[in-house]
Chains A and B, each alone.
Chain A
């Protein structure tokens, strides 16, 4: 039982090579599915243990930190692990039929192995308590993501993957520089140890310049990874041209883990006082967040490729998360963290609906949505409900996080920001309504595809996510409490 943190990452990590060893293609899917569901199960137990008993520390190799690498699991980590592994499990269930249309059969085993490795990488980032270990697992998840995106059908997928590779590696190298500078000041790599030693550095003498530079490089590197405007250029192409399963998985998890890294480095290592008061991270994040919300939502309205529209919508939603962080208040932070959870549910459901549409019609263009409301009723209903969550309609999960965010901005007295949040929701209404109108209120498409509803194996995971959207919109106590607890831990420096 006390090996849980290690098992959480080891299961997907070691099942990946197993996927490659079997000659039988369905076997790879089977191993991957069992692995992801086992991982999800472990994450539930882990989260429960952490919430009830407090943070868990696990020393890899038996060597105590800071000489060895140790995993440190607190409520924030447990929350994210739930999100990532839950999405992973549902994505694998969805994947069975979806990949048949989109991935070459001989690449299937490598595909599932890469998916498992990406999952393991993301989990590793969230669970570890060692800064350099974060870098290694960041590269694990990034490298597999580049390859997964490149396996999309159109040749633009290759271009998108290459662009992401270049920008992602620059970001990762910036993060490496930041970690190196922090190390040069303190001599340690363990996050809690770093926090203690950074506090001891007197502000006036030795090391303050280095600390500011480390912070600058970490922030820029992480902003590249979490696609904060204007460093978001890789995201639209990557999400649009990747295979549907890959888009579902990455959209719901990868950027959230990058936000997690930002939170860890800012609050736990550098310290809230230093980061927000001295270096005004709040102000640095504010403008890009607002720009993301407005500009990305506006651009989304003009997209005819619906996957691309949802990608721009994701950039806007990330703006909401960073806006919550920039408020530097407990409420704002809780809102940002809760939105990570809700966005995963929303976008997961929406992109799954897109995957189903692509599976049946072979296209994701707006014009091909005509009449889909009749021919694929369940899929479009899922899209509508997911869209409502995106807009922030009451009784959906999206409403809760927007509501808490609004409360936080009103509390801080930032009226223009409140107006912008509401404007963002309005813009979301416009771009979702375009799709709904085409699907339900247009006459039948000239060429009758004879399209039928998506297969059950795709509908079930989709509706689990939609159901979760509605459930957590009505009774949001569990995620909200976890988010609030996580915010408390962060604001106290991560020592709880």
Chain B
């Protein structure tokens, strides 16, 4: 279990779990969305760490370079980044409207308002 070999992966996992923790524990809707962002971005770090080739360079063909890092995970993560921001945008739109109708962004207060009716 070579630490140097897997350091990247473990830090990525730590970051993922921090994001996951933020989503579960915090009641503020915006904090939840930021935690979700944290979670998904850390998954990207994991994927991109897989793609790196020691001694390689960016996968843009240039004369004289033989070794390139793997381009396929890059493509997948590009797509995933865009999907992530689209989700954040929809989540924020919902949060805005929730604030308009409930007057608060805290989950507990929202629940109380609904239950008291």
Q: Tell me, yes or no, whether A and B come into direct contact in the complex with CB atoms closer than 8 A.
A: yes
Chain A interface (Cβ < 8 Å from any Cβ of B): 132, 135-136, 139, 143, 146-147, 150, 155-156, 158-159, 161-162, 165-166, 169-170, 173, 176-177, 180, 183-184, 189
Q: Using Cβ atoms and an 8 Å threshold, which residues of chain B touch A147?
A: 90
8 contacts between A and B (CB under 8 A): A143-B86, A146-B94, A147-B90, A155-B98, A159-B114, A166-B91, A173-B43, A177-B43
Q: Considering the chains assembled together, what is the distance between the CA atoms of A403 and B69 in angstroms?
A: 55
B29 touches A162 (CB 8 A): yes
Q: Could you tell me the distance in whole angstroms from the C-beta of B32 to the nearest C-beta in chain A? A: 6
Q: Considering the chains assembled together, what is the distance between the CA atoms of A173 and B81 in angstroms?
A: 12
Q: Considering the chains assembled together, what is the distance between the CA atoms of A119 and B107 in angstroms?
A: 31
Residue B68 at the chain A interface, CB threshold 8 Å = no
| Known interface pairs A139-B83, A170-B23, A180-B46; A165-B90 also in contact (CB < 8 Å) | yes
A166 touches B32 (CB 8 A): yes
Number of interface residues of B (CB under 8 A): 30
Interface centre among A155, A170, A173, A189 (most CB of B within 10 A): A173
A159 touches B36 (CB 8 A): no
| Known interface pairs A139-B87, A162-B94; A169-B40 also in contact (CB < 8 Å) | yes
A173 touches B86 (CB 8 A): no
Q: Using Cβ atoms and an 8 Å threshold, which residues of chain A touch B36?
A: 166, 169-170
Q: Using Cβ atoms and an 8 Å threshold, which residues of chain B touch A184?
A: 50
User: Of all chain B residues, which has the CB nearest A160?
Assistant: B94
A165 touches B94 (CB 8 A): yes
Residue B25 at the chain A interface, CB threshold 8 Å = no
B98 touches A132 (CB 8 A): no
Interface centre among B36, B83, B86 (most CB of A within 10 A): B83
| Known interface pairs A139-B87, A162-B94, A165-B91; A176-B43 also in contact (CB < 8 Å) | yes
Interface centre among A150, A158, A161, A183 (most CB of B within 10 A): A158
B79 touches A136 (CB 8 A): yes
Q: Using Cβ atoms and an 8 Å threshold, which residues of chain A touch B94?
A: 146, 150, 158, 161-162, 165
B40 touches A162 (CB 8 A): no
